[in-house]
Amino acid sequence: MKIVIAPQAFKGSLSALNVANAVQKGVRRIFPDAQILTCPVADGGDGTLETLVESSGGKIMETNVADPTGKPIVAQWGAMGDGNTAVIEMARTSGLALLTLEERDPLNATTYGLGEIIVSALNKGFRKFIVGIGGSATNDAGAGMAQALGIKLMDREGRNLVFGGAALQNLSVIDTSSIDQRVLESNFQIACDVNNPLTGPEGASAVYGPQKGATEENVRQLDSALGVFAEVAKRDLGKDISNLEGAGAAGGLGAGMIAFVEGHLRAGVDIVLDTVNLAEKLESADLVITGEGSIDFQTVYNKAPIGVARMAKARGIPTIGISGMLGKNYQIVHNHGIDAALSIANGPISLEESLQNAPSLISEAVEESLRLISVGMKLRN
């Protein structure tokens, strides 16, 4: 029997790798001779950095960068074990979680720190990038990032633009002649799980601006500025980004990654599953075990367990989902490849107890589920 273990992290409790190890213990109790492949996964959001680094034998790196307000911070990024792929979560350099409510300022917030992280990775020889762009505090379409990479953004007088999305209203010229040439040698995979266009009522400013602190007037100002950016990018870079799905992600960073670094926007889970070579690991598998902290109706929206289950289903492989809890309408996952979903709670239990005992609870839940499979195998014989 070949079993592939491919869980996501249990948020706030265990990393994906630790979940996989706990699942493996449960499997061994029932099928000690099984061929087991562990393949921790993520969906491009929180935890993706750690998951890809741990699963590849890489390491967490640190770089001094500017936060969204320009203040110095130490930000983490990941160096994968292949020595060629860097994993970056823009939220760690330019994210909303870095700021207090009073510090939120989408007119002036910058992605310069993201560019600084990219430069740091380039300096260490990395030429492949996986960049998650959720959780931004910015609305500058990646202008700050571009400036950190050597691209000049200038007004009609030839002056460099100041940081922030509002400044794009004065954008007249995008000059890439001084871009860090190593960027042109690199490949950027952008984890993007929204399809908002750059501007308009469904665009970056209107949909996400208010949560970043934008007033109604600010939204109109920022939306107009992004429109100017789109026009100049089309003329100077030959990139028509105004109506592309995902261009409005992360305050227009989706558009900026396409325009400035030839980024490829894809669903985060697809990028991760390709990176960890899940398709290859699934070859000739008899069973897949996946999971996340909570399985509910939201799981079907591009969460990692569903990505795993869909790939397994396409190959006719049954899939079990293990979770800390089964939430509202969790049964919908059965329509998307997860054949059985189980909670690790073995009775009335507090959240604190569940978090503290998660490894043993996971192992026990997996053991019991595989006992049922073992019974079915005996009956069939």
pLDDT at 37: 97
Separation between Cα atoms, residue 238 and residue 232, nearest integer Å: 9
DSSP state letters, 336-368: GT--EEEES--SS--HHHHHHTHHHHHHHHHHH
Split at pLDDT 50, 70, 90, the class of 193 is confident
> What pTM, to 2 d.p., does this model score?
0.89
Q: 48-269: which CATH architecture?
A: Alpha-Beta Complex (3.90)
Res. 350: pLDDT tops 80: no
- The Cα–Cα gap between 200 and 226 comes to 10
Q: Which residue has the tokens 């609870």?
A: 361
Whether the predicted pLDDT of 360 surpasses 80: yes
Q: Model confidence over 42-51: pLDDT tens digits? A: 988 888 999 9
Give one DSSP letter per residue of 21-69, joined into a string: HHHHHHHHHH-TT-EEEE-----SSTTHHHHHHHHHT-EEEEEEEE-TT
List all residues 6 or more positions away from 148 whose beta carbon is below 8 Å from its beta carbon: 112, 113, 114, 115, 116, 118, 119
Residues with Cβ within 8 Å of residue 142, at least 6 apart in sequence: 111, 114, 252, 253, 255, 256, 257, 259, 260
Please write the tens of the pLDDT for every residue from 242-252.
889 999 999 99
The predicted model gives 76-86 an average pLDDT of 96
Cross-strand bridge partners of residue 153: 174
Is the pLDDT assigned to residue 354 strictly greater than 80? no
Question: Quick one: fold of 2-41+281-380?
Answer: Rossmann fold (3.40.50)
Query: Where residue 345 falls among pLDDT bands split at 50, 70, 90?
Result: confident
**How far apart are alpha carbons 325 and 322 in whole angstroms?**
9
The per-residue pLDDT for range 2-23, each reduced to its tens digit, is 999 999 999 878 999 999 999 9
**Residue with tokens 């604190």, as numbered in its chain:** 352
Tell me what pLDDT residue 296 has: 92
Kindly report, residue by residue over 26-37, the tens digit of the pLDDT.
999 999 999 999
For the chain, what is the mean pLDDT?
94
- Please return the burial class of 212, using the count of CB atoms within 10 Å of its CB with bins 0-12, 13-18 and 19+: buried
Report the relative pairing of strands 264-266 and 287-295 from DSSP bridges. unpaired
Q: What is the rounded average pLDDT of the residues 287-300? A: 93
Give the rounded percent of residues in the chain with a pLDDT score beyond 70. 99
If you compute the radius of gyration of the chain from its CA atoms, what whole number of angstroms results? 23
For the ranges 54-58, 88-92, 174-178, which has the lowest average pLDDT? 54-58
Grade residue 215 by pLDDT with cuts at 50, 70 and 90: very high
What does DSSP assign to residue 247?
A: T
Is the CB of residue 266 less than 8 Å from the CB of residue 195? no
Query: What is each CA distance from 277 to 37, 45, 98, in whole angstroms?
Result: 12, 19, 33
pLDDT digits (tens, 9 = 90+) for 178-190: 999 999 999 999 9
Provide the pLDDT for residue 376.
80
Is the confidence at residue 381, as pLDDT, over 70? no
Ordered by start, the domain boundaries in the chain are 2-41+281-380, 48-269
pLDDT in tens, 56-78: 999 999 999 999 999 999 999 99
What pLDDT is recorded for position 81?
Answer: 94
pLDDT at residue 252 in the model: 97
pLDDT of residue 250: 95
Give dist(CA 96, CA 368) in Å, integer. Answer: 42
In Å, how far are 39, 79, 200 from 55, measured between CA atoms? 7, 11, 40
Q: Averaged over 269-294, what is the pLDDT?
A: 95
pLDDT computed for residue 189 by the predictor: 97
Rounded average pLDDT over 293-322: 94
Residue with tokens 């074990």: 81
Q: Is residue 294 helix, strand or coil?
A: strand
